[in-house]
Amino acid sequence: MNAVDQIRVRDIRGSALCRLLAHSLDRSRLWCLQNPNYCLTPPQAERFHALKNRLDGGEPISKILGQRSFWKDDFITTADVLDPRPDSETLITAVLNHYPDQNAPYRLLDLGTGSGCLLLSLMGEYQKACGVGVDYSAAALKVAQRNGEGLRRFPLWVQGSWGESLKGPFDIIISNPPYIPTEACQTLEVAVRVFDPMMALDGGADGLQAYQALMPHIKRLLAPTGMAFLEIGDTQAEAVSSIAQKNGLKIHGIEKDLENRDRCVIVSL
């Protein structure tokens, strides 16, 4: 297919291209299925080709469409935030398993909130909770704020480094910090390396720099009966547990993701 061909809806095959087509037409995918003979106008065809070129260049479809599903909601995603990942839903499940009373007015803290997907998902589950979401990136916080407004959940958004400007206590702390070793960042697939912000990925030479920095804040900000849920790379459980223990925290457990890889370290006072 090239730019001068006349495009009919029925010519477009494959899930990703069909999503781009629906987006170019400003129609639902169901409408496209119901109108296979519709012929795109030249501006619509141009728009479709522009989006397809981005897909061919390795940009993830979520970033092209500006939206990604996480847990029970759709989140805005842009170049300023990490795309919400299914692996991170392990943290939501772990919190719900440890804190089953969904009517409790928990104080929630999300360190490195990005799109706000973790905090906003928890606030959807705990309707009486209040939340604070911290990020170093002001641009990321703007995306988080838009997501909160869209979902009508209103945590406090704070720009800063981890917990440095905060006072506790918090009942539940969550964090998915950058944890990929610097060298490994260069070998990530294009969709991640180019289209997710490096500040969300790069965990320093050993991938553990963020855990070293944020663990003292967790120790200081956690309520006596509280727990912190930290996302980890699948080989980091031992190293992150050791950093937590050196900061006077106890290891409450390690949770695995759906592919049975270590994904979350749970710590308490």
Binding site for ligand SAM (CB under 6 A): 82, 84, 88, 112-115, 117-118, 134-137, 140, 161-162, 176-178, 199-200
Radius of gyration of the chain (CA): 21
Instruction: Write down the least CB distance from residue 165 to ligand SAM, Å.
Output: 10
Instruction: Write down the least CB distance from residue 178 to ligand SAM, Å.
Output: 5
CB-based contacts of 14: which residues, under 8 Å, 6+ apart?
A: none
**Residue with smaller CB distance to ligand SAM, 22 or 155:** 155
CB-based contacts of 242: which residues, under 8 Å, 6+ apart?
A: none
Contact 176, 255 (CB under 8 A): no
**Residue with smaller CB distance to ligand SAM, 20 or 266:** 266
Instruction: Write down the least CB distance from residue 249 to ligand SAM, Å.
Output: 19
**Residue with smaller CB distance to ligand SAM, 1 or 79:** 79
**Residue with smaller CB distance to ligand SAM, 115 or 241:** 115
**Residue with smaller CB distance to ligand SAM, 168 or 178:** 178
Q: Please state, in angstroms and rounded to a whole number, the distance separating the CA atoms of residues 109 and 141.
A: 14
Contact 151, 124 (CB under 8 A): yes
Instruction: Write down the least CB distance from residue 181 to ligand SAM, Å.
Output: 14
CB-based contacts of 144: which residues, under 8 Å, 6+ apart?
A: 81, 113, 114, 115, 116, 119, 120, 133, 135, 157
Instruction: Write down the least CB distance from residue 50 to ligand SAM, Å.
Output: 27
